[in-house]
Chains A and B, each alone.
Chain A
Amino acid sequence: MPDAIEQSRFSAARRDFIKTGGALVVSFSLRPALANAADQAAPAKTVAIDQVDGFLAVGADGKVTVFSGKVDLGTGVRTAMTQIAAEELCVPFDHVTVIQGDTLLTPDQGVTFGSLSIQVGGMQIRQAAATAREALLSSAAGKLGTAREALAVKDGVVSAKAGANSGTTSVAYAELVGNRNFELKLDPRAPLKDPKDYTIVGKPVARLDIPDKVTGRFTYMHDFKVKGMLHARVVRPRAMKASLEAFNDWECRKIPGYVGAIRQGNFLAVLAKNEWAAIKASRVLETSWSDWQGLPEQDKLWEYVRATKVNKTEDLQKTGNTADAMPQAMKTHSASYDFAIHTHGSIGPSCAVAEFKDDKLTVWTSSQQTHLLRLQLAKMLALQPADIRCVYIEGSGCYGRNGHEDAAADAALLAKAVGLPVRVQWMRADEHGWDPKGPPTLLDFKGGLDAGGNIVAWESNVYIPDRPAEISVALVAAELANLPHLGSHPGNIQNALAIGYSVPNVKATANWLAETPFKPSWIRTPGRMQNTFGNESFIDELAAIAGADPFEYRVAMLAKDPRALELMARLKTLSNWTPRATREQRRKQSEMTGSTFHRGRGVSYIKYENVRTYVGMVADVMVDEKTGKVRVEKVFVAHDCGQIINPDGLRNQIEGNVVQTTSRTLIEELKFDRATVTSVDWKTYPIIAYPDVPEVAIDLIDRPNEKPWGAGEPTAALVPSSIANAIFDATGVRLRSVPFTPEKVLAGLKVANA
């Protein structure tokens, strides 16, 4: 049974608003195309993923609107989608506008995650555009009485190809289909433009959003207002699963603008007519929570994970037979790795606005998954999905499933309860404390070498939280208010444990755990980062045991893959990799010079999930033996994601991957006591600062005739192992626990020097 809603003073507030003439008019100026499409009484715009009209519309002026279910999370996807559509349709770049993530208007292309926006979402749009272009050419041929083959399109105008019989007039897309539907099924075999004819794709087109973002003109979610909206602040339990015993808003009532509190189960929020009043009210609201101390001790986190019940095991990769091969190996080596719990750490805490009017709910949200959010809200609030519209508005970068959806659910619950539009803005502690977390990850490895140092057997085990069937993360409001919801899924965090090297006997196993301390979700490169940290560190350990150069050791196991070899060859040139003098020799050298700083470099490689983007990385680090501080000086990245849509956008993503993951690798670790998260701001959960940011050198391998693959995550997968391998190269200390804090480095040095 859902808990009843308790309201304080709401009927009065509502009267108040009506009295003061607070009409519920949306003040946000919608894009013309959006307004038109949304307001047309009939026919409703289709969002069918197999229809050209799902993705594209041509206006009477020939301007094109693209409807994208994938959204720009600050990664440049809007610009890239514009390039893809303009190129394939043969219209000018500035004639294309992209509408994103609006459940009323855009097809459900799946959650914007997994480095799939271009690879999957962009290719659906490309195919829709190709289908449209071919249909328009045929239509033009009929209209002009010319053979279809004699026609070409330029800038949205169909006319005779150069050299063809002149005398033919031309016809514009606008005339052919302007303001009308294509009524055309998306043709998966519609011929695509030859990349040699590209003029927009593959070019470093400037991002469309940047001018507005540097002048204060951009509308972030946080800037969005609806007339008459109330400002809400949530008041979360003191302990994560504590029950709300009582609350008293007596002190809040002294605050001008305070409207009331809403409580449902353990969900509690205050509302006010202005933002500051809501913040003050949230601070003076008296609450009494039950005691709850259900979290494991942080100091014993890894013992806790190790002791957690395994629901089931799953073979992720099985080649040959490791059970037979391992005992026959000349030498075996085992190692365990762990990777701390991370928060997404969005700079702007999550924010959303919701309005419930005429039994219909509208939610403005920065959610990466508006279609999925709609289903979750429908379940939570017992509404029909058709009565909910979720509209994407870009927010602060989320790097996965952060709190955006939860803020949306907070706003929806409140808006439905009070009958007025409500804006929910999370505070810093809400974001750090209540976004779902990248789960703690434990990895065990065992390797067997033959007499030549070659790997003959490889066994890996990862310990990660088990998941429900659906890839979604429960909404905090639904959990706290005891409303219907599904369990939480951490994303496909088993991926990338399988290795891409030629090893005769491999067994990679997921151990699905019955529980994990914090509600899990995906955070950039989920699982793939942790698993690759293990894989690429362990292979480095085996190379060291084999006495081999870690670069050549890897290359020798990639011989069957020409793309991998080209990548590594280019990485070698880029980083000027040379087999390094042995550690001992170098340490002697620095002892002679009296230096306490040790430099080293580490290499890593991945073919992402063994099926797509190739990345190779070399990291140069300097370790201060006295303080234990690791400084990542420079990172070299060779990158092959097939066809590049926008090389500068790609570089921006790669740089971001390196810098963000350097932060996660060196510094970041969620702190908690038995009751709740205690790292609730930037002092208690620091992230990288400018002076510690490494330089990044990039070599992009463009393959215009190949499929474009994702680039939002793969580079990040390599950062922890590249740094770990470099620290080993510099000091002989093998760090197997992320983050690589000075304490861990010093402890390692103490053992190494003992």
Chain B
Amino acid sequence: MSKTIKFNLNGKPETLKVDDPEMPLLYALRDDAGLRGPRFGCGLGQCGACTVHLDGVSMRSCVLPVSAVAGKKVLTLEGLETGGKLHALQQAWIDEQAVQCGYCMNGMIMQAAALLSSNKHPTDAEIKDALAHNLCRCGTHLRVVRAVKRAAATMA
């Protein structure tokens, strides 16, 4: 009954054996691949804490069946760093101190990364729209917007 799923995870080939191909990707990433970036928040695709990129497109991994990533590229928060260097967004988050509890920040950063890949110089309104479906309870929104703008400036 178990099924083998092969995909590219953060630039490296990954092979996972799963009992249930319908299991959401989130559990495969957290429990089988041992990642901590993607987080469980709602399991309903409502809050965004679990966001990853699938072939460059931001996705809610809590509602995406693991079978759907076979043969594709999955990028998580852990994969943003290159050669031991933080991604501009991660550095901007530190520079702006854009975290309180930080539980939602995986989703914010991954969603912002998706935005910046298509829009190099987003306005405040565009950033807010892009993050409109990522929930934060601590109220760190203002810092997040500043961090995204800072990252966009450094990446330009």
Q: Which residues of A contact B (CB under 8 A)?
A: 73-76, 206-207, 209-211, 213-220, 222-223, 256-257, 274-277, 279-280, 345-349, 394-397, 399, 425, 427-428, 648-649, 652-653, 655-660, 663, 681-683, 687-691, 693, 695-696
Instruction: Give the distance in Å from the alpha carbon of A427 to the alpha carbon of B105 in the complex.
Output: 19
The answer to whether B103 and A210 touch across the interface, beta carbons within 8 angstroms, is: no
CB < 8 Å: which of B27, B125, B132, B139 contacts A660?
A: B139
- Residue B142 at the A interface, CB < 8 A? yes
The answer to whether B99 and A216 touch across the interface, beta carbons within 8 angstroms, is: no
CB distance from A714 to the nearest CB of B (A): 15
The answer to whether B97 and A215 touch across the interface, beta carbons within 8 angstroms, is: no
CB < 8 Å: which of B80, B99, B131 contacts A690?
A: B131
The answer to whether B105 and A214 touch across the interface, beta carbons within 8 angstroms, is: yes
CB distance from A475 to the nearest CB of B (A): 22
Contacts of A222 in B (CB 8 A): 39-40
Task: With A256-B19, A425-B40, A655-B140 as known contacts, state yes or no: A397 contacts B99, CB within 8 Å.
Answer: no
Contact residues, B29-58 vs A (CB, 8 A): 30-31, 35-37, 39-44, 46-47, 49
Instruction: Give the distance in Å from the alpha carbon of A218 to the alpha carbon of B102 in the complex.
Output: 10
The answer to whether A74 and B138 touch across the interface, beta carbons within 8 angstroms, is: yes
Task: With A223-B36, A394-B101, A690-B128 as known contacts, state yes or no: A216 contacts B139, CB within 8 Å.
Answer: no
The answer to whether A399 and B137 touch across the interface, beta carbons within 8 angstroms, is: yes
Q: Which residues of B contact A (CB under 8 A)?
A: 1-2, 19-20, 23-24, 27, 30-31, 35-37, 39-44, 46-47, 49, 76-78, 80-81, 86, 90, 93-94, 97-106, 109, 125, 127-129, 131-143, 145
CB distance from B149 to the nearest CB of A (A): 13
Instruction: Give the distance in Å from the alpha carbon of A696 to the alpha carbon of B104 in the complex.
Output: 21
Task: With A214-B109, A215-B81, A687-B137 as known contacts, state yes or no: A347 contacts B142, CB within 8 Å.
Answer: no
Contacts of B103 in A (CB 8 A): 74, 220, 346-348, 395-397
Q: Could you list 22 examples of A-B contacts with CB < 8 Å?
A: A74-B99, A210-B94, A210-B97, A214-B102, A214-B105, A215-B78, A215-B80, A215-B86, A222-B39, A222-B40, A347-B137, A396-B137, A427-B43, A648-B97, A652-B140, A653-B100, A659-B142, A682-B42, A682-B47, A682-B135, A683-B46, A693-B141
Return the chain A residue nearest B20 by Cβ: A276
CB distance from B52 to the nearest CB of A (A): 11
Contacts of A277 in B (CB 8 A): 19
CB distance from B31 to the nearest CB of A (A): 5
CB distance from A709 to the nearest CB of B (A): 20
CB < 8 Å: which of A217, A428, A648, A691 contacts B128?
A: A691
Instruction: Give the distance in Å from the alpha carbon of A173 to the alpha carbon of B146 in the complex.
Output: 42
Closest 6 A-B residue pairs measured CB to CB?
A: A74-B101, A659-B139, A216-B37, A397-B101, A656-B139, A213-B102
Instruction: Give the distance in Å from the alpha carbon of A658 to the alpha carbon of B100 in the complex.
Output: 14
Q: Among the interface residues B86, B93, B138, which one has the most CB atoms of the partner chain A within 10 A?
A: B138
The answer to whether A660 and B137 touch across the interface, beta carbons within 8 angstroms, is: yes
Q: Chain A at the B interface: mostly helix, strand, loop or mixed?
A: loop
CB distance from B14 to the nearest CB of A (A): 16
Q: Chain B at the A interface: mostly helix, strand, loop or mixed?
A: loop
Contacts of A73 in B (CB 8 A): 101
Contacts of A425 in B (CB 8 A): 40
Contacts of B136 in A (CB 8 A): 347
The answer to whether B138 and A256 touch across the interface, beta carbons within 8 angstroms, is: no
Instruction: Give the distance in Å from the alpha carbon of A663 to the alpha carbon of B141 in the complex.
Output: 12
Instruction: Give the distance in Å from the alpha carbon of A648 to the alpha carbon of B96 in the complex.
Output: 10
Contacts of B31 in A (CB 8 A): 274-276
Instruction: Give the distance in Å from the alpha carbon of A274 to the alpha carbon of B20 in the complex.
Output: 11
Instruction: Give the distance in Å from the alpha carbon of A34 to the alpha carbon of B141 in the complex.
Output: 35
CB distance from B83 to the nearest CB of A (A): 14
Contacts of B36 in A (CB 8 A): 216-220, 223
Contacts of B42 in A (CB 8 A): 349, 428, 681-682
The answer to whether A216 and B77 touch across the interface, beta carbons within 8 angstroms, is: yes
Instruction: Give the distance in Å from the alpha carbon of A682 to the alpha carbon of B107 in the complex.
Output: 16
CB distance from A623 to the nearest CB of B (A): 20
The answer to whether A216 and B132 touch across the interface, beta carbons within 8 angstroms, is: no
CB distance from A427 to the nearest CB of B (A): 6
Task: With A211-B94, A217-B36, A689-B132 as known contacts, state yes or no: A346 contacts B137, CB within 8 Å.
Answer: yes
Return the chain A residue nearest B125 by Cβ: A691
Task: With A74-B100, A682-B135 as known contacts, state yes or no: A652 contacts B129, CB within 8 Å.
Answer: no
Instruction: Give the distance in Å from the alpha carbon of A73 to the alpha carbon of B100 in the complex.
Output: 8
Contacts of A349 in B (CB 8 A): 40-42
Task: With A210-B102, A256-B2, A693-B142 as known contacts, state yes or no: A348 contacts B41, CB within 8 Å.
Answer: yes
Task: With A215-B77, A275-B31, A425-B40 as known contacts, state yes or no: A695 contacts B142, CB within 8 Å.
Answer: yes
Instruction: Give the distance in Å from the alpha carbon of A425 to the alpha carbon of B136 in the complex.
Output: 20
The answer to whether A428 and B44 touch across the interface, beta carbons within 8 angstroms, is: yes
Task: With A206-B94, A690-B131, A690-B145 as known contacts, state yes or no: A216 contacts B76, CB within 8 Å.
Answer: yes
Return the chain B residue nearest A690 by Cβ: B128
Contacts of B20 in A (CB 8 A): 256, 276, 280
CB distance from A378 to the nearest CB of B (A): 29
CB distance from B87 to the nearest CB of A (A): 9
Instruction: Give the distance in Å from the alpha carbon of A235 to the alpha carbon of B155 in the complex.
Output: 48
Instruction: Give the distance in Å from the alpha carbon of A649 to the alpha carbon of B132 in the complex.
Output: 25
Instruction: Give the distance in Å from the alpha carbon of A571 to the alpha carbon of B24 in the complex.
Output: 50
Contacts of A656 in B (CB 8 A): 100, 138-140
CB distance from B144 to the nearest CB of A (A): 8
Known A214-B105, A275-B27, A656-B100; further 9 A-B contacts with Cβ < 8 A: A210-B102, A214-B86, A214-B93, A276-B31, A397-B100, A655-B140, A656-B139, A657-B139, A689-B135
Contacts of A220 in B (CB 8 A): 36, 39, 103
Task: With A348-B39, A656-B140 as known contacts, state yes or no: A206 contacts B97, CB within 8 Å.
Answer: yes
Instruction: Give the distance in Å from the alpha carbon of A76 to the alpha carbon of B145 in the complex.
Output: 20
Task: With A348-B41, A655-B143 as known contacts, state yes or no: A215 contacts B23, CB within 8 Å.
Answer: no
Return the chain A residue nearest B81 by Cβ: A215
The answer to whether A693 and B128 touch across the interface, beta carbons within 8 angstroms, is: yes
